[in-house]
Amino acid sequence: MSIAVVICAYTLDRWDQLVLSVESVRAQQPAHETILVVDHNDALRTRAVERWPDLTVIANVGAQGLSTARNTALAATDAEVVAFLDDDAWADEGWLAGLTAPFDDPAVVATGGRALPIWPGAAPAVLPPELLWIVGCSYLGLPEDDADVRNVMGCSMAYRTAPLRALGGFNPDTGRVGRLPIGCEETEVCIRLRAEDPARLIRYVPGAIVHHHVSADRVRLRYVVHRSWCEGISKAAISRTVGRQSALASESAYVAGVLPAGIVRQLGDGPGGWIGAGAIALSVALAAAGFLRGRLSPGPVSARRSLIAEPAGT
């Protein structure tokens, strides 16, 4: 089984983290191709080519954004399986082997690993374990052992190339553009893969571990507010393409079970947990409000990006 590992990068501000990411991939087994896609940043591409002359370093040929950068890599490889790692994350030894092992089962079309946060300081009270998805990390409520899931998370994931390419890759109308916290493109792809063939499996592999840097601006309540609002808008957008029930099936169980238990747990910790309990409740409310607002917006891209600043005064 031939494998390609793709890292997408867009800024020189993460250069040190990108170096860790690339070097962690180069050390992985089994044998694989490493592709670095640079998203509309000539200075970064030049520096990357100089630093890694033996790697495949290419420019995003589409409009700026993470989805088109991933699609550029998808078009550039002949590998049977393509894995993705964020440019601000580095992989444990054995990550790639663990992430790709489930593909021995021909029914498996996608896999995802566990992402652990690297905080810029002490773990923030506004990001209890239930809300770690806000910073792209694995959150309380995910399976503890290998399990079939609805979708994987973008920080650490792999796909069979042929089915993903047959879908047209990742939807350019979803996914981050620079630092704008819009997304859900991985969720949409996974739902569409299984909609085409319900016998297909999406496998979560918690033993395939990466470590994800969290920047200082993302450990504040303001980011929790912004990211939760944008998550609702993004879910509203993909509900148009995959249907509301599919878009919200996992979230409904999460909101009904995991989050109330998290609030109770946080409140039980005394005054030190009140901030976390409040953050969970606020996140739910803003995601719901974002979803309702997104459902009322007239267009998928322009509406979502014009709406992301609406709760800034919160």
| Rounded CA separation 7/295 (Å) | 32
Residue-wise pLDDT tens digits, 153-199? 999 999 999 999 999 999 887 756 655 666 678 999 999 999 999 99
Answer for the pair 55, 160: CB distance below 8 angstroms, yes or no.
Answer: no
**For residues 144 and 225, what is the distance between their CA atoms, to the nearest angstrom?**
28
Alpha carbons 163 and 82: distance in angstroms, whole number: 11
Q: Which CATH number goes with the domain that contains 26? A: 3.90.550.10
- Cα–Cα distance list, 103 to 30, 113, 204 (Å): 13, 14, 12
Q: Which domain holds residue 298?
A: 3-313
314 vs 284, more confident = 284
Contact 39, 65 (CB under 8 A): yes
Q: Cis bond leading into 120, ω under 30°?
A: no
In the chain, how many domains are there? 1
Q: Backbone dihedral region of 251: left (phi > 0), alpha (psi from -120 to 50 degrees) or beta? A: alpha
Global confidence as pTM: 0.90
Arithmetic mean of pLDDT, 94-105: 98
- Tell me the per-residue pLDDT of 5-59, one tens digit each, with 9 for 90 and over: 999 999 999 999 999 999 999 999 999 999 999 999 999 999 999 999 999 999 9
Confidence of residue 233 (pLDDT cuts 50, 70, 90): confident
Highest mean pLDDT pick, 43-57, 228-242, 295-309: 43-57
Instruction: Please give the pLDDT value at position 310.
Output: 44
Residue 201: is its pLDDT beyond 70? yes
Is residue 220 predicted with pLDDT exceeding 70?
yes
